[in-house]
Each structure stands twice: as C-alpha cells, then as structure tokens.
Amino acid sequence: MTTMQMFTLVAGLSLFLYGISQVTRNLQKLAGSSLRQLVSKLTRNPVRGFFMGVIVAFSLQSSGAAILMLIAFANAGLISLIRSVPIILGAGIGSTLTVQLLAFKIYKFAPIIITIGFVMLFFIKKRVWHYTGRVIFSFGLVFLGMAIMRDGILPIQNNPAISSMTQFFAEAPFWVAIIGFVLATIFQSSTAVLGLLLTFAFTGVVDLHLALPIVIGANVGSCMIGVIGSIGGKTESKRIVWAQLSMKIFLAIIVFIFLPYYEHFIQFIGGSSARQIANAHTLFDILVALIFYPPSGKITKLFIKIFPKPIATDEFTPLYLDSTTLENPHLAMGQSTKEIIRMGEIVQSMFDDWGKVFFSNDSTLLKKLIADDDKVDILQEAVTEFLTKMSMDELDEETASLSVMLVHIAFELEHVGDVISKDLAVHTRKKIEVGYYFSDEGFSEILSYHSEVQKNLKFVLDAIPLRDKKLAEQVISKTKKLVAKEKELYRSHVKRLRRGLKETEETSTIHIDILSDLNKINLHISYIAYALLEKA
C-alpha cells in the first residue's frame, strides 16, 4: 500500500466518522425537543413505546442517542425501567434502518447531496430549513467518505496481504467479534462500524461470512455509550443500560452458537454482500425484540433485584442535572430550568419562614432557615457549572441567550437567599436574643411590607417555567411601587421617632435595616424579571 493510498483511506474514514457524528448532532437540534415530548407522552403504552423507540433511533440516526435520552429521563425521575424496555428494543431496530439506507450505493450521489445541503445551510435562514440543510450536508459527508474509502480500497483489493488478512480473520470469528465490539465502543456507534463494513463489501474485500462476527460484536459494543453515560447516574439509569447490554450479549451468544445457520438464512434472503450485511444487522435486533418483548415485565423485576435502590442519605444534591445531556442543549436547558425552579421553591420557603420567625420568635425555625441557604448555594453552583460546560460557540443564538438568562436567574436567587440568611436572619436573631419589642404600628408595617414582597417573589417564580414576559413586566411594575412604599415606611418610622415612642427608639436601627433588606430582596426580584425580559 502506497503512502497516498493510506492517506486516502484515512481521509475517507475521517470524513465518514465526522459525517456520522454531525448527522446525529444536527438531527438532535432539529427534532430533539419534539421527540422528547413524544417520548414523554407515548411511553406509557408498551406497544407505542416500542414504535417510539424505532422512530427516535431512526430520527437521531443512533440507538446510543436514544439511550442517552432515556438515561437523562431516568436520572430526572421521569421514566422507569418497565417503560424503557420497549423503547430500547424499538431503538435497536430503528438504528439498523440507517444501515439499510447506507447499503444502497448512494455514495455515487454524494456531490449532489453536499451541494443541496450547502445551499440550504448558507442561504436559508429559517431555523427548520437551516438545520435540515445541516443534516443533508452531513449525510453528504458520510457518503463522500464512503466513496473516498472505496476509491482507496479498489487498487489493493487483490493484494495478497489483504487476502491473507481476510482469510486469517475468517478463521477466528470470536476475535473478529471482539474487534467489532471495540470499534463500536470507540466510535460510539454500530452504524459507523457497519458503514465501514459496507464500504469494504462494495469493493468485494469483505463478504457476509467475514462480516457476521463484526456485526454481532458491533451490536454489543453499541451499548457501551449508554454504560459510560450512566456512570454517576441514578439507579434507574443503570438498570436501563445494563438491561440493554444483557439482552444484546444473550442473543450474541445464541447467534454465535448457531452462526452457520444464521449465515445460511441471511444468504437465503438474498441480495448483494452489502445488503446481506445490512440484513444480518437488522435481523439481529429484530430477534432481540421478538425474544425479549414478551417477558419484558420479568426482565424488569430481575434488574430491579440486581440494582436495588441505595439507602437514602441526608446529602443534598441536584436532582435534575445530568452531564450526558450537555450534547443536547434543549434537554440541558430544561433540566437547568427545573433545578432553578427547585431552587426558587427553597428561597420562597426561606422567605415565608422568616416572616413566621419575625412574628413568633421561633429560634428553631430560624436555624432551619439559615441551613436552607446552603442548599441554595449548592444548586446555584451546580446550575452555573452545568450551563458553562456547554460551548457557547456551538449553540444557536436563542439557546445561548437562554443559557445566559438561566445563569443570571440562578445568581439572583442565590443573592435573595443570602439576604434572608445573612442579613434578615441576623437582625431577627438579635430581636429574639435581646428581646426587642416593636411598636404595634412598626411591627405591622414590617409584616405588611414582607407580605407584599413575598407576593412579588411568588409572581416572578411563576414566570420562570414558561418565561412569561407579561408576568415579568407586572413584577417590575410592582417592584417600583414597593421601592416607593419602602421610602414611605421609612418616613412613617421617622415620624414615630419624633413622637418619642420608646419602642420605636429602641428598635430604630434594626427596623430600618429590615426594611432595607426587604427592599434589597425586592430589587433582586426585579433583576430576575429583567432577565426574563432579556434586559439583564
């Protein structure tokens, strides 16, 4: 093999693998959000879940991407193993449809496909058509890579060294299967491995006999992206990926035992070597579905026993953030929003509790309130770190803007928590320990102002899930009124001082500080509203 032939093969392989990864990535951006909604709605019924798995895997051109989506749902507590098994089985079949497509000699039309994709990508700005152009362009790169590899293989297909190598591999099917497993694990895709096999089959270098063990190994290796993605995840996600891996390994062993019969059956179906390889791949996943769909309930019980839920601990951690979703910005944004909503609920509870403590002098509740601020800090740091892991250069303008907005909101909620736990709580502890007694009028004014800020906080938290701009504008309008109200309450306090009320004189400093702190919270609430209006 000459140096130029070697570089031709490497260049073709590079284009092919890059194209495969970009197809999946762009399809996720194009259809990921709608597919997630469909999955969440249709997985309650096992039959619908099965066909949903087929659709998702084919739409994303990857069963691995479908499994990662399931892992994210499982880590968020949105899906169980019993609902996941039919989707896993369907996803296996869906991913083979791409290989069936590659088995057609579409690589001959790669220049046309790339041109169409390029025109749509650069000259049509509407989001749907823009990403459709990206998908078509990426498919063009896949087929162009196959064409370049084929051109690199043709001159050496009759080389004695190639013949000796294929003969050696034909006599060692187990080790060939291991190679298929390793390649699928490295490429994180059985489709990529099958695409390579098809390219060799087009040139006559590989036939069904040599390819079958690689097909089996690649099917098992395709599960490893899920195994890796579940590391550090919750118990349910581990059950899902190990159930998938176990089903594939079981059938791989059965097929290996009856390998000659499997090969004869595929040959009986007919077709070119490339088509036979694609059929062998599809049939493998059809058999997995036929064998394991009926007893899916028993499989669920088995893996629940193998992976029991860990004993609950008191450690406070994020519930919804899953690093495997960072490749899918829309899903990552959804998880971040849910964590921020959780964060807001804790802050709201702290603010509610402060009002109770100020009224009742409950020191136990005051300690709980202060401790809850640590939870807010943990969530703020986790959300910020999670969102900043995404490369802003790879996000579209709308998603990048949303990412900045969520980081800003998380910071503002953390500031509100700090004002409650480090300022208001300190003043209230002093009130309890020293035994300060406020005048009835001053006491009532503080509780009334707290109540109004409390309502404004609730309104802005209600606006976050759907990024309700109308409600955000109402919050800002209310904030301005509350700023004026704080000044009015300050003047009212000064009037009581001039009247020489003893209670007012004793509590003057703490009274003014509490009003100031409540106003600070009010301002941070308005900053959240401005962020929702994208005016941060």
Give every residue of the chain whose pLDDT is below 50, as ranges.
Answer: none
> Both 13 and 153 in a single domain?
yes
On whether residue 222 sits in a domain, the answer given is: yes
How high is the pLDDT of residue 112? 92
Q: What is the pLDDT of residue 481?
A: 94
How many residues in the chain? 536
Q: Is the residue at 312 inside a domain?
A: no
User: Which residues contact residue 42 at a Cβ distance below 8 angstroms, ignoring those fewer than 6 apart?
Assistant: 48, 49, 52
| E strand or H helix that includes residue 243 | helix 235-257
86 assigned to some structural domain: yes
In a domain, 26, yes or no: yes
Supply the pLDDT for residue 286.
95
Give 42-57 pLDDT, tens digit per residue. 556 788 888 888 887 7
In this prediction, residue 504 carries a pLDDT of 53
Q: Which of 29, 100, 16, 104 is nearest to 65 (CA)?
A: 29
User: Does 526 lie in the same domain as 465?
Assistant: yes
Count other C-beta atoms under 10 Å from residue 397's C-beta.
8
Percent helix, strand, coil in the chain, to 5, is 85, 0, 15
The number of folded domains in the chain is 2
Q: Does residue 314 lie in a domain region?
A: no
> Do residue 365 and residue 248 come from a single domain?
no
Distance CA 377, CA 421 (A): 11
Identify the DSSP state of 270: -
Q: Which residues of 494-518 are buried (b: 16+ CB within 10 A; e: fewer)?
A: eebeeeebebbebbbebbeebbebb
Residue 335: CA count within 13 A, CB half-sphere: 31
Q: What is the DSSP string of 427-448?
A: HHHHHHHHT----HHHHHHHHH
313: in domain: no
**Single pTM value for the model:** 0.66
Q: Are 323 and 234 in contact (CB under 8 A)?
A: no
The DSSP symbol for 421 reads I
- Token digits of residue 144: 């162009």
Query: Of 306, 336, 371, which residue sits at a domain end?
Result: 306
Domain that holds residue 296: 3-306
Do both 335 and 295 map to the same domain? no
Give me 11's structure tokens: 């260049």
pLDDT at 264: 95
On whether both 385 and 250 belong to a single domain, the answer is no
The reply to whether 284 and 364 lie within a common domain is no
Predicted local distance difference test score (pLDDT) of residue 159: 67
Angle 403-407-409 from CA coordinates, rounded to 5°: 115
Structure tokens that stand for 140 in this block: 């063009």
Specify the pLDDT at position 156.
66
Residue 317 lies in a domain: no
What does the block give as tokens for 386? 């999670």
How does 225-240 read in b/e, with b if 16+ C-beta sit within 10 Å?
Answer: bbbebbeebbbbbbbb
The answer on 392 and 520 residing in a single domain is yes
The encoded tokens of residue 259 equal 């390998």
